[in-house]
Each structure stands twice: as C-alpha cells, then as structure tokens.
Amino acid sequence: MSNQNKKAKFSLILSRVLAYGVVIFLCVLCLFFFVLLILMSSKSNSQLQGAFTLTWGGHFLENLKNAWTDVSINIPRGMFNSLIVALCSALITTYFSALTAYGVHVYNFKMKNVVFTFIMAIMMIPSQVSAVGFIQLAYKFGLTNKLWLLIVPGIAAPVVFFYMKQYLESVLPIEMVEAARIDGSNEFRIFNEIVLPIMKPAVAVQMIFSFVSSWNNFFMPALLLTKKEYKTVPIMIAQLRSADYSKFDMGKVFMFILLAILPVMIVYTILSKSIIKGVTSGSVKG
C-alpha cells in the first residue's frame, strides 16, 4: 500500500473518530441534565441544602409520594388538565394547519397570493399582542376556567401552516389529486386518505412541537385559569416555587419537575418513531 493511500485511510479514520466523538459528547451533554434531575429528585430537602454531590439520595419514592399527595396542589389533576389541553391542541393545530395548507396549495382561486401573504403577516405578530384582546373577550363573556378556551385558538397556527405548505410543495404532485378526483373521491376523502398519510413525517414533527409548546405554556393558563381544579402543570410548578420558605421542600419540587417532563419525553419517543418510519417508507415517487 502506497504512502498516499495510507494517509487517505488514516485521514478517513481520524474524521470518523472526530465525528463520533462530537456526537457522543453532545449526547452526554444532553443526557447529563436529565440524569442530574433524577439524582436531585432522589434527595431529601436537607441533602439538597448541603454540599452538591452526584450521588443517589435514596428518597426517590418518598419524594414521589410527597409530591403526588400534596394537599396544596393536585398534581394528578394538573397533569390530566395539561395532557388534555396539550394533546387536543396538538391534534387540532396539525390537522387544520395541514388542511389549510392543502387548500392553498391545491386550489387556484382569486387573491390566493393575498391570502398567503395575510397569513404570513399574522405569523409576524407576537402572540402576546393578540392575546390581550382574546383575554378581554374571555372575561367579558365569562369564559374563564374553561380548558377548551386554551385548545380552540390552536386552529389558527400560521407557523405550522407555513411548514405544512412548504412540505406539500415538495411531496404532493397535483396529478395525484386530480387522479383521485377523476375516480370520484371528494375533497375531504382525498385529504384524509391520500394527502394526510403522505404528510405523516411533517404531522409528527409539528405534533411534537405543538404538544411541547402547549404543555409548557404558562402565559395564557395563568391569566384564564383561576380555579384550582383547572390549573395546569406550569402554574402548579410556579405555586411550588412561591411557597413559604419554611415549608419549601426542594426534593418535592425536583420530583414534580421530573413528573412534568415525562409525558413530553414519552410523546417525543412515540412520534419520533413515526418520523423515521415516514421518511423511510412514506416518500412519494414521481
């Protein structure tokens, strides 16, 4: 083997080692804080107030019991409320955004470009600005403490619409829609049975983002939910943080934070498999 080939082989091996090293480092960096949270949630309040150590505290089940049965907050109810809001918001956001993107992409109508530009303009408006009027209307008509009030606005999601439209332009041939129309399919059947399966990777990605965004949303629930039985997880975590210092239990707080992120991780794990499957077997061949 010549020296040139040896140098090329050594360079290839070195580049692979560096690439794998960077990937391993990033994985360890991402997992470190999650492992740290688990370790902190296993320690008692007195252990957490002492010196910092990366050791198992031995109070994991005790903290779990204290957090789950806390009389000041109802964690099971809060997680149920957050799950209902986040799941319904994710489904509504992705479905109606995909449906809107399908209509704008497939149909040619007057002022089509104006409609698209208008939606893009709305995307530039901060959500906090539009939330002011929405909250005023909610209080005016007595619609506070309603979980569906946090779900319905998810129908209008310009960012998700833009992502879906860009995805449709790359994977959906207009000829496929026209062929389905010739076969006698109506528009909703075409969308639900043909277009939506093609969009599975995009839908899975946006469902993850929408679910996480809704699950972590604090601004709107804090203003619209005042009764204890309707409060969501972010509001309850804020209540724990603002509790009396003499009754403040850091172990319980860490355990609650751990419980709060577990549903997000489960949803991401489930939908990430759908993304991989959709990318490998759901492509459209022209």
pTM passes above 0.85: no
Final residue before a domain boundary, out of 40, 60, 80: 60
286 within domain boundaries: no
Look over the chain and give the mean of its residue pLDDT values, rounded to a whole number: 82
Same domain, 55 and 77: no
Half-sphere exposure of 94 (CA within 13 A, CB side): 24
Burial status of residue 276 (CB atoms within 10 A of its CB: 0-12, 13-18, 19 or more): exposed
Same domain, 233 and 245: yes
Same domain, 88 and 134: yes
77 within domain boundaries: yes
Same domain, 222 and 174: yes
What percent of the chain has a predicted confidence (pLDDT) above 90?
6
* Number of folded domains that form the chain: 2
124 within domain boundaries: yes
170 within domain boundaries: yes
Distance CA 229, CA 272 (A): 32
Final residue before a domain boundary, out of 60, 77, 98: 60
Final residue before a domain boundary, out of 39, 60, 81: 60
Distance between the two ends of the chain, CA-based, in angstroms? Answer: 45
Structural domain of residue 47, as residue ranges? 3-60
Q: What is the pLDDT of residue 9?
A: 78
Q: What is the pLDDT of residue 246?
A: 56
Under 8 Å CB-to-CB from 285, ≥6 apart: which residues? none
Distance CA 252, CA 68 (A): 9
Distance CA 73, CA 68 (A): 9
Q: What is the pLDDT of residue 244?
A: 57
Same domain, 132 and 249: yes
Is residue 111 predicted with pLDDT exceeding 50?
yes
Same domain, 165 and 91: yes
Q: How confident is the model at residue 84 (pLDDT cuts 50, 70, 90)?
A: very high
Residue recorded with tokens 């010549």: 2
Q: How confident is the model at residue 241 (pLDDT cuts 50, 70, 90)?
A: low
Same domain, 69 and 56: no
Half-sphere exposure of 20 (CA within 13 A, CB side): 6
Q: pLDDT, tens digit, for every residue of 10-45?
A: 788 888 889 899 989 988 888 888 888 888 888 888
Return the CA Rg of the chain: 25
**158: CATH:** 1.10.3720.10
Q: pLDDT, tens digit, for every residue of 259-280?
A: 888 888 887 777 777 666 545 5
Distance CA 256, CA 271 (A): 24
What percent of the chain has a predicted confidence (pLDDT) above 70?
91
Is residue 282 predicted with pLDDT exceeding 80?
no
Q: How confident is the model at residue 94 (pLDDT cuts 50, 70, 90)?
A: very high
Same domain, 51 and 78: no
Same domain, 50 and 128: no
The token pair at 37 is: 């949270």
Q: pLDDT, tens digit, for every residue of 1-17?
A: 566 777 777 788 888 88
Question: Can you spell out the DSSP letters for 160-187?
Answer: HHHHHHHHHHHH--HHHHHHHHHTT--H
Q: What is the pLDDT of residue 85?
A: 92
Same domain, 128 and 105: yes
Same domain, 96 and 214: yes
Same domain, 269 and 211: yes
Residue recorded with tokens 């992409």: 105
Is residue 281 predicted with pLDDT exceeding 70?
no
